[in-house]
Structure 1
Amino acid sequence: MTLKQAKDWYSTVASVHTSEQRKNWYSAAAEAYNQVRPRYPQQLINRAIELAKLPDEAIILEVGCGSGIATVAFADRGFSMICLEPNPEMCRLAQQNCIQYPNVKIVNTSFEEWHVEAKKFNAVVAATSFHWISPEIGYSKAATALQDNGSLILLWNAIPIQPPYAIYQLLQEVYQTYAPSLAEYEVRSTQEESISRFRTNSDRVRAI
């Protein structure tokens, strides 16, 4: 997704739903989200830490920590973390999931509302959450929070190649009822092209 596409997508969402509505979108599904949301492989977390050259005493700011799925993976490495989550139910679950990590602080607020602590953090992490932040605010605020040699670590879970069409047809009614925007079937070549484009854009970001 290009920066223009990100801005267009966010503008569309923000024009329809207020910030208060967006904060509470996942409240009813928080428990289910916590139980079934895919985890991030520890190998991926380790690779991100390696690329960012994070020292053992690194301080991490996490944007939109949800129920703490990625938080735990970083906390297991012993880092100190401040994690922002605007949804109260998700925040409660994150506090519960991170109770064994005394250096992890969960704050019930949005990144936009949070008072930025300039040049405090070695890394800003966002796991499947940064697209919810206005591009015009998110990148500049993350840059303000980072130390001069800090890193912005953006992670997403990619949906795997869709199942055979016969199985997809059986699920059509569910898609149409609960997620009509996902109802269009994508052939394998289309998804492979999307994944390839995402990889190319990621390489360009690293080069910058």
Structure 2
Amino acid sequence: MPTPLPPPPDQPHQPQAHQPHQARLIAESFGTDAERYDRARLRYPDALVSRITESVPGPPEPDILDVGCGTGIAARQFLAAGGRVLGVEPDARMAELARRLGVDVDVARFEEWDPAGREFDAVVAGTAWHWIDPVAGAAKAARVLRPGGRLAPFWHVFQLPPRLAQAVADLCERVLPDAPFDFRSALTRPALATSQTLFDKAADGIRKAGGFGEPEQWRYDWEHTYTRDEFDQMPTQGAFTRVPPDRLAQVLEGVGAAVDAMGGTFTMPYTTVAVTATRNGASGTGP
């Protein structure tokens, strides 16, 4: 998300002992408003999608597994790029919308999902891998990938303009004083540097699982200009999916007023980062 909103907005601010993949109430809360999620969340760079599909040794239509596929945002991009895509998603509400939008989905947590003998040329995860145990997830990916296949979780990282970030932090601290998130730190700290911890954790999980070459990072920098109405993604982020409707309405009204104070639009810098490794010929370990 240079980070998703609150730390990334999908990654809860947790003590070190409580990792994001253990926060199941948040991880499986995004279907609260699946249609808003699909509408508000931005798509991924076409260059990244193409690079993944072109880097695998599979047929002209590579088999791609999308882990934590949500409403199928990334899955539809891989379908459009010529892949055959199966999603795995723990939230049945998200999976149902993805199916209506043309994506085949199995409803399960990835660590517990039964591949039933199916194999893939790429395993991807769009802004979802931090909800997966990094070692067990990589080991499961090694089991289902063909030799030479690619594991590629990726994330959007973003940085609100400083003036807007301060206004939103003030607002959240006032309206949500008991929330288990450090909004000010999450919104104002250097997002890309903070997210590097998340990327390193994914890479370490790949190394510990075995079965892969050395992980590397692919980076894509871009930006998006929002109007007040278009900046509708905060209710889709983990810090807000369980906020009572009356208080969420207060937050959204305040954010809208802050955007109006900036002239009604603002430009957000984004960086999309993939942590990726190639499946070698050895068997991975894991469940």
Are the structure 2 counterparts of residues 124 and 171 from structure 1 closer, same or farther at C-alpha, using a change threshold of 3 Å? Answer: same
Counterpart code for 1:167: L
Are the structure 2 counterparts of residues 65 and 9 from structure 1 closer, same or farther at C-alpha, using a change threshold of 3 Å? Answer: farther
**Among candidates 163, 166, 169, match of residue 166 of structure 2:** 169
Summarize deviations over 1:131-157 as a string: whole Å, max 9, x none. 111123101110000011111011111
Are the structure 2 counterparts of residues 54 and 194 from structure 1 closer, same or farther at C-alpha, using a change threshold of 3 Å? Answer: farther
Are the structure 2 counterparts of residues 10 and 126 from structure 1 closer, same or farther at C-alpha, using a change threshold of 3 Å? Answer: farther
Q: Is the Cα contact below 8 Å between 2:67 and 2:128 reproduced in 1?
A: yes
Are the structure 2 counterparts of residues 199 and 172 from structure 1 closer, same or farther at C-alpha, using a change threshold of 3 Å? Answer: closer
CA separation in 2, counterparts of 1:10 and 1:94? Answer: 33
Q: Is the Cα contact below 8 Å between 1:88 and 1:108 reproduced in 2?
A: yes
Q: How does 1:131-170 map to 2 (within 5 A)?
A: 131-159=130-158, 161-164=159-162, 166-170=163-167
Name the counterpart of 2:255. Answer: none
Q: How does 1:195-206 map to 2 (within 5 A)?
A: 203=216
**Among candidates 52, 60, 64, match of residue 60 of structure 1:** 64
Deviation at 1:31, TM superposition (A): 2.1
Q: How does 1:78-117 map to 2 (within 5 A)?
A: 78-98=82-102, 104-117=103-116
CA separation in 2, counterparts of 1:109 and 1:195? Answer: 27
Q: How does 1:45-56 map to 2 (within 5 A)?
A: 45-56=49-60
Greater RCO (Cα-Cα under 8 Å, separation 6 or more): 2
Q: Secondary structure at the match of 1:35?
A: helix
CA separation in 2, counterparts of 1:127 and 1:76? Answer: 16
Deviation at 1:67, TM superposition (A): 0.5
Name the counterpart of 2:6. Answer: none
Summarize deviations over 1:3-33 as a string: whole Å, max 9, x none. xxxxx86843466x4x4x3563112232221
**Among candidates 65, 68, 73, match of residue 69 of structure 1:** 73
Deviation at 1:197, TM superposition (A): 7.7
Report the TM-score when normalising by structure 2. Answer: 0.56
Counterpart code for 1:141: K
Name the counterpart of 1:5. Answer: none
Are the structure 2 counterparts of residues 74 and 134 from structure 1 closer, same or farther at C-alpha, using a change threshold of 3 Å? Answer: same
**Among candidates 8, 11, 33, match of residue 37 of structure 2:** 33
The structure with the largest strand share of the pair is 2
Q: Is the Cα contact below 8 Å between 1:61 and 1:82 reproduced in 2?
A: yes
Name the counterpart of 2:119. Answer: 120
Q: Is the Cα contact below 8 Å between 2:68 and 2:88 reproduced in 1?
A: yes
CA separation in 2, counterparts of 1:196 and 1:136? Answer: 17
Gaps of 5+ in 1: 1-7, 99-103
- Check if 1:183 corresponds to 2:180: no
CA separation in 2, counterparts of 1:192 and 1:23? Answer: 22
Deviation at 1:97, TM superposition (A): 1.5
Report the TM-score when normalising by structure 1. Answer: 0.75
Total equivalences in the alignment:
189
Q: Secondary structure at the match of 1:154?
A: strand
Deviation at 1:130, TM superposition (A): 1.1
CA separation in 2, counterparts of 1:207 and 1:109? Answer: 24
Deviation at 1:194, TM superposition (A): 4.3
